[in-house]
Structure 1
Amino acid sequence: MRTLQHKKIFFFVILSAAVLTILFSLIAPGFAPHDPLETDFSNVLKGPCKRYPLGTDQVGRCICSRILCGAKVSLGITFMLLGLVFVLGLILGIVAGMAGGAVDAIIMRIADIVLSFPDIIFAIAIVGMLGPGLVNTILALSVIWWTKYARLTRVLVMGAKNSEYIDAAKMAGAGTLKLITYYILPNIISPLLVQLALDIGGMMLAISGLSFLGLGIQPPTPEWGNMLSEGRSYIQTAPWLLIYPGGAIFIVVAVFNVLGDTARDILDPKYG
């Protein structure tokens, strides 16, 4: 079993890899050798070569350029969505945990109803009713993912608000807002951030999955999920259409999953 010191070193290595991945996704479009939307019907389904390092797709677009530009799209939407559901779940969880009673019951029963449906099936149903597209994808996944943060935050808040340091703060005259901001939130944020790190990979897979089914981000926007969808018809004749975007998804999801697992090991040694 690795010692805590080794775990910390490994965590900083993986954290560095994750940060570099994010930074690279921001500057990656600048390294694209071609316009990701430019078609060239004289080079349709061309294999990897000097001009097209990762080959071309069914309309002659550069796969390398689309993957590089798609990194910003895929990661950008993933972090935007996670930020949205994190804030929404945090607020509702704090309200439920602090208020208790009927308010707590209403918020948690709504969360239970949402959780009673399989995530991806519920998302497909929502996007199917509203129509495919980025906005509806964000709405569908937001409706589903806020619940875990709300429930986790509620449990943490209910445990923290009965602590002795909260009683001391109340005796010192601290109001509800000050209790939340200065005493409760700093003490519950760590497990929430670990959960956030663990969910990066899952959220990216959910976005890519909806795009793969034709319900998420629509072509010709370069996004790894819809690149897989466009390439599935050519799996035998042009396998690079699936190998490269699939490999990009695998690498990024693996990095952030390992980051979340390692962070959890450090903050809660019982998982180690």
Structure 2
Amino acid sequence: MPWVASSQLDCLSSSPSQRECERTAFSFYCAVRERLPVWLLEDMRTMEVFCWEDGHPRAFLPSEALLYALVHDRQDYARYLLNRYSVSALKAPRCSFCCCRSTGAPHLNVAVRYNRVAILGMMVEALKDCGMKNQRREYLDSCGGCSHVADAGKTAVQLAVELSHPECLLLLLVQGARPDGLDAALQRLVSCDVSERRHAQRCLDFLLLFLPEPPLLRRLQDESQRWQSLLGNEVFSWLCGLAPPPLLLQALRCLARSGPDQISTLPNFLQPHSWQ
């Protein structure tokens, strides 16, 4: 499928029953892509679509259907699955290529990879049903899953920084995800194309809003003039441990934690980049 590594295509099915399962799964994938009604998709999933597991066919899981909904931005189908099955729709499905039980949060990574901001918002709302705050945060900070799956070993926050998807990043940070990736955000800022620099800058700004304290980064000290011109004197001095955070940054921190919409609706002169 689109979120797995291309090397997996080398795995060919030998059993007629297994090939039939793959045929029905592909038919379901096409049905989601063709935007068939939700009720029809659910009829297909529960009665016509099968996966091959442990030598036997089984019904297609809601968590697997949610991955298809993410790829094709089927917000109506994703909303149904999350409302009907809640956090069980976010469980990592079993990997069909190595037959192991996947771990981590593949749905979060797929949402970030395809920049599905609306569905990601539904997913983080569903996570509130987890009960304990620590469990929710652990899920938000988990990595993508099996080693041969695309984006494996990366958290959703790290992936959002790498791809310069600021809206996804802010959603995750507001929900309590760990603000990792400052070094990657700085590297992205200087290496990306001019057309992507605005998004890279916003990712850096959002990370700064949620950092409890800046880590010591050698790259800032090694190229102080370069980074001072990019970040501004106040931010550069704070990241180097030479000064407290800028006053506007401190003020915006409280606002950012109250919800992602609070920051995005601010006038331009109060946006995070204006503290530089």
Please tell me the TM-score bracket, short chain as reference.
under 0.3
From the CA coordinates, give the structure whose radius of gyration is larger. 1
TM-score if structure 2 supplies the norm length? Answer: 0.22
TM-score if structure 1 supplies the norm length? Answer: 0.22
